[in-house]
Amino acid sequence: MDLKKRILLSWSSGKDSAWALQVLRRDPTIEICGLLTTLNTEFDRVAMHGVRRTVLEAQAAAAGLPLWIVPLPWPCPNEVYEQRMAAICQRAVHEGIAAIAFGDLFLEEVRAYRERNLAPTGLEPLFPLWKIPTGELARTMIAAGLRARISCVDTEKLPASFAGREFDEALLDDFPAGIDPCAERGEFHTCVYAGPMFAAPLALETGEIVTRERFVFADFFVPGR
């Protein structure tokens, strides 16, 4: 009898969720059934990260997993977000999903929020990267072949010139003091395009750089999509 725990992975399109996928796939007790992503329907992009839906779909194809998309309006009041998430959780339970995994690293309030929201659903929250020192984690990901670029920069925390840069050792060395190497406090967001969790790398190309209020977004695309 197959006793594997069926789970969804919260997928931001960035490095931490990609590495969570890699870690979870090493666990023989777990079956990953899909990538759960919130999509801003106004721009047809991954919420916060600003990654195009076409790139998201290419990531899912490279990971060999189906997408579970939660469509969100813009702007999105928190009550609407929670209603949409509750609906997808109901679907997950109906389809035999037991848990949702998140790539959160150390913010206790974020973890508590997720645990509180999942408690009524019966779904178990999983945190496979929790409390791994972020400097160590960043270098482990890079050494293992994970490749990503910065898709969004919060200019209150980092200069706009970081948008579009490769997530690599040189980037880590260039961060100003106080910047978390994995950006757990929202300093930046990334778009992953290669790594051991993908069957093949994406031919990711960089388009224009756009400023929206305090955030600077680098637009990425996969030719032919």
Measured distance CA(40)–CA(81) in Å, rounded: 11
**Average pLDDT rounded to a whole number, residues 188-205:** 97
pLDDT given at position 181: 97
Measured distance CA(105)–CA(83) in Å, rounded: 25
Q: Per residue in 111-157, pLDDT tens?
A: 999 999 999 999 999 999 999 999 999 999 999 999 999 999 999 99
Measured distance CA(128)–CA(112) in Å, rounded: 15
Per the listing, tokens 């490095």 go with: 15
- Encoded tokens for 12: 């931001």
Q: Per residue in 40-56, pLDDT tens?
A: 888 889 987 889 999 99
Residue 1 banded pLDDT, cuts 50, 70, 90: low
Q: Per residue in 79-112, pLDDT tens?
A: 888 899 999 999 999 999 999 999 999 999 999 9
Going by the DSSP 8-state scheme, the letter that residue 74 receives in this structure is: S
Q: What is the pTM of this model?
A: 0.95
* Ordered structural domains, the chain, with CATH: 5-221 (3.40.50.620)
Instruction: Give just the sign of the alpha carbon dihedral 198, 48, 104, 89.
Output: negative
- The neighbouring-strand residues paired with 221 are 205
Residue 76 banded pLDDT, cuts 50, 70, 90: confident
